[in-house]
Structure 1
């Protein structure tokens, strides 16, 4: 098992864990990596940053969105589901992994969305 710790982690966890050919990511929130600030705006702006952060974690682990098997999305308001889907479709265009989307009472730092994934490691 291999772990990848990202810069600026908010707690005692790894950004991803590699186990065999699988990559398990930590939940990604809409934080700007260079500043640590939360993206201002609504669900679409926040979701875009969360998925951009997820993409960076997947890339650091040697994989990408085309190899994602399962995505879990956490929303603080299910009324944001349509906006989330608009952003989701811009990251997952042809390959559509299995997905769960659940409503939660709150997320870290007051954000609207958090995303995590399980992916297969790229064959490099």
Structure 2
């Protein structure tokens, strides 16, 4: 069986997979999740909103929030020794699918080829009344 099939039990037990132990990076706040979890050479990032350094949604709607969320992702990648070129999978959640084109324009200009695979879906409510949330996986 491939190591990825054992991911959840390993995360729960902090076991070692091919490539190294599970390493968790706590979030900067008091919320009960990690900013990122590294398993071997794969880095799983929690979803990012378009929050500024003070934890407030940036003004300007979905375009500004998308750019800020991507900047937050890049900051997390950098802190963990990864680059945006290491991104292999992203999931974008939009409060309103009518914002798809605007989000996609910002996302497309920020990402580098080869683009990571991506899923995009709409949801009625996102945390903090955000317009967009982006979650990614990076691998070396």
TM-score by length of 2: 0.81
Q: Which runs of 5+ in 1 are unaligned?
A: none
- Is the contact made by 1:65 and 1:91 (CA closer than 8 Å) also made in structure 2? no
Which residue matches 1:5? 26
Query: Which residue does the alignment assign to 2:18?
Result: none
Give the CA deviation at 1:58.
1.2
CA contact (8 A) 2:88 2:117 kept: yes
Higher fraction of helix: 2
- For 1:91, the equivalent position in structure 2 comes to 110
Q: How does 1:1-124 map to 2 (within 5 A)?
A: 1-8=22-29, 11-33=31-53, 35-121=54-140
Equivalent residue pairs, number: 119
Runs of 4+ in 1 over 6 A off after TM superposition: none
Q: So what's the TM-score if we normalise by structure 1?
A: 0.91
Greater C-alpha Rg: 2
Q: Is the 8 A contact 1:16 1:25 kept in 2?
A: yes
Q: State the Cα distance separating 1:95 from its structure 2 match.
A: 2.3
Distance 1:50 1:67 in 2: 17
Unaligned runs of 5+ in 2: 1-21
RMSD: 1.1
Which residue of 1 is the match for residue 9 of structure 2?
none
What is the CA distance between 1:8 and its match in structure 2?
3.0
